[in-house]
Structure 1
Amino acid sequence: MRYNYPHANREFVADTFAWGDETTLSSTEFAVMIPRIQSLALRTKQWVTVIGGSRDIVRQLVNAGVSRSRIRWVGGRDADQREWATEQALLAGTSSVVLSFLDGLSSPRVSQRLKMASKVSQTHSFVFQSLPSQSPLH
């Protein structure tokens, strides 16, 4: 039997499947992801949480149209603290998007925990391998 849901938004359905897909990206892909992050951020009144990162990351998000008052920036002295903060931000379920700059994950177990937290809380998560450079290299 085929069901027809005229009110369903195809984009929303596609994003529903992305919740469990914590995505690991390189630092060069951050600029490419900004329109997608902005789109996800503007769908709700929830936080855009940045774990690690830099002032430049926050500035790029604000320049893309994300309100500074909705950006939560969390530091961390080391990779373990940033991994823990990422998991907690996902489990809280108060963010529309969690962006983490972790310089790689410490283990496959951590990656699995982040995927599960993202899926349970229905929060989009992007893990970047390293911070984007502050200035272009010539």
Structure 2
Amino acid sequence: MRYNYPHANLEFAVEALNISDESTLSSEDFATMMPRIQSLALRTKQWVTVIGGSRQVIQQLVNAGVSRSRIRWVAGRDADQREWATEQALLAGTSSVVLSFLDALSSPRVAQRLKMASKVSQTHSFVFRSLPSQSPLH
């Protein structure tokens, strides 16, 4: 069955990230991707959902012009919860973009589920390796 989403921009729909260990972006890539994330976030009045991440990520989104009231931040206690939250955010279809900060995907099956959820809902998704701790551990 083919879904027809007249509001979807084909250029970005085809370019939904191929989520796998090799294509997961590093936290340093976040700043590089910010213009694209900003463009996607400002196209609609939908949520910008951040799974994991940090206060600095939220502040960068606000600095890029995304209203703080449109940012949904889900912490998640562990990697399994963050993976589950990512899939649910994608399936809900209420976000213009979902940004996930995960250490690594637990299995190829999870990667496939996230990819399919993104494709079905036409929600843009970026998976970044978790940000390093901002404070040194002693």
TM-score, structure 1 length as denominator? 0.84
Instruction: Tell me the amino acid that sits aligned with residue 16 of structure 2.
Output: W
1:133 offset after TM fit, Å? 5.9
Name the residue aligned to 2:80.
80
SS at match of 1:19: coil
Name the residue aligned to 1:61.
61
Residue 15 in structure 1 maps to residue 44 in structure 2? no
CA RMSD of aligned residues (A): 1.6
- For structure 2, the 5+ residue unaligned runs are 1-8
1:14 offset after TM fit, Å? 1.1
Q: Percent identity?
A: 81
Q: Which has the higher helix share?
A: 1
Name the residue aligned to 1:4.
none
CA distance in structure 2 between the partners assigned to 1:88 and 1:44 by the alignment: 20
Instruction: Tell me the amino acid that sits aligned with residue 14 of structure 2.
Output: F
Instruction: Tell me the amino acid that sits aligned with residue 67 of structure 1.
Output: S
Distance 1:132 1:18, change over 3 A: farther
Q: Is the 8 A contact 1:21 1:119 kept in 2?
A: no
Q: Is the 8 A contact 1:100 1:128 kept in 2?
A: yes
- For structure 1, the 5+ residue unaligned runs are 1-11
* Corresponding residue pairs, total: 124
TM-score, structure 2 length as denominator? 0.84
Computing the radius of gyration from Cα coordinates, the structure with the larger value is 1
Instruction: Tell me the amino acid that sits aligned with residue 19 of structure 1.
Output: A
Instruction: Tell me the amino acid that sits aligned with residue 34 of structure 1.
Output: M
Deviations 1:26-79 (A, max 9, x none): 111001011110000011110000000111110011011111111000010000
